Amino acid sequence: MATSDPLDLVANAQRFSGFADLYDRVRPAPPPILASILTAYSGGTRPRLLVDLGSGTGLSSRWASTWVDEVVGVEPSDDMRRQASAATAAANVRYETGWSHATGLPDNCADVVVAAQALHWMDPTPTFAEVGRLLRPGGVFAAIDCDWPPSIGNAPAEGAWRRCRAIVKSYEERLAAGLTGEQLRAPLGDDADVALPAHFGRDPNKGRTMAVGVQSWSKDEHLSRMLSSGAFAWCGEVAVLGEEASTAERFIDLLRSQGDLQTLVKHGVDEGRLGVDKFAAATRAALGTEERPMWFTFRVRIGVTPND
């Protein structure tokens, strides 16, 4: 299996510091049906150990705790890991400091390894080498990603999301180009390109230059990289739908929980400049105050290690 020296990804971990409580409160957990799918691929019996790479605030670790015997969440961000520990009551979950390419866990220890909303922040070559080392023969890896925004059954609210996300993208492009201070914060001109590419909802960082040293890999290319990694005997892809309760406020906060928006706020661009106030007003007008369902589309790339 090919290996390489891992890249310096400290900036990736720092991207999600400072808003762990917001992230944990509004982000979705993987849907229950996915537990059945991964259990089937791993042999049909209850998995003994699951390793959750880039476990963040523990949303996916807490989900896994209901269908495996033991969960180890591996997370480099102290901020996220503290939130995970505070929010997790399950006795079969523990969190460790580490990276996807350097977990410090034993060889062949896991039946299942997952990376939920995280693989696009990981250096793929050493990550897949580590996954192959961690999994027992016939073990299962799953890269779990969801599209943005979730469907909420309301076109005006979802359209307002896209308009705000386009403004955020334009400002992050300024930051990536090295602009700071007033140059960064200046209003967008009338001729500014605030359109989003068609793939943005499922793969927002594809072809995008990231700011402040952050590195990202296309979600659309997860499966091809898995196939070429040599870590898996079989790879495939499934799509599943998750339903969770929502309100206008949760929909607004889901947008506020995006890493690029939070990065810009840290660099002095206020939410009003980024269009969040207009988005929030449009969303409240469109959705009202009642609770309603929203649906997350999860795209899951699955790899199974050789059985010998």
Query: Does the residue 3 lie in any domain?
Result: no
Q: Say how far apart CA 231 and CA 106 lie, in whole Å.
A: 17
Are 134 and 223 part of one and the same domain?
Answer: yes
Both 177 and 234 in one domain: the answer is no
d(CA 277, CA 215) in angstroms, rounded, equals 29
Q: Are residues 225 and 255 in the same domain?
A: no
Q: How many domains does the chain have?
A: 2
Is the same domain home to 229 and 253? no
Place of tokens 């700071």: 180
Q: Say yes or no: 134 and 43 in one domain.
A: yes
Phi, psi of 237 (to 5 degrees): -135, 140
Closest CA relative to residue 138, chosen from 210, 22, 66, 232: 232
> Is 67 in the same domain as 45?
yes
Give the domain CATH number at 97.
3.40.50.150
For residue 215, the 8-state DSSP code is -
State whether 255 and 239 are in the same domain: no
pTM tops 0.85, yes or no: yes
143 and 261 share one domain: no
Nearest-angstrom CA–CA distance, 53 and 118: 8
Residue 115 lies in a domain: yes
Across 34-50, b (16+ Cβ under 10 Å) vs e yields bbebbbebbeeeebebb
Cβ neighbours of residue 159 under 8 Å, at least 6 residues apart?
none
Check whether residue 86 and residue 172 sit in a common domain: no
- 292-304 and 135-146 strand pairing: antiparallel
Q: What is the pLDDT along the chain (308 residues), one digit of tens a residue?
A: 334 456 789 999 999 999 999 999 999 999 999 999 999 999 999 999 999 999 999 999 999 999 999 999 999 999 999 999 999 999 999 999 999 999 999 999 999 999 999 999 999 999 999 999 999 999 999 999 999 999 999 999 999 999 999 999 999 999 999 999 999 999 998 766 678 999 999 999 999 889 999 999 999 999 999 999 999 999 999 999 999 999 999 999 999 999 999 999 999 999 999 999 999 999 999 999 999 999 999 999 999 999 97
Residues 230 and 299 in one domain: yes
Residues 98 and 224 in one domain: yes
Are 109 and 181 contained in the same domain?
no
d(CA 206, CA 173): 13
Q: Is the peptide bond before 149 cis (omega within 30 degrees of 0)?
A: yes
Domain assignment present for residue 2? The answer is no
Task: Print the domain residue range for 279.
Answer: 155-200+248-287
The answer for residues whose C-beta is within 8 angstroms of residue 155's C-beta and 6 or more apart is none
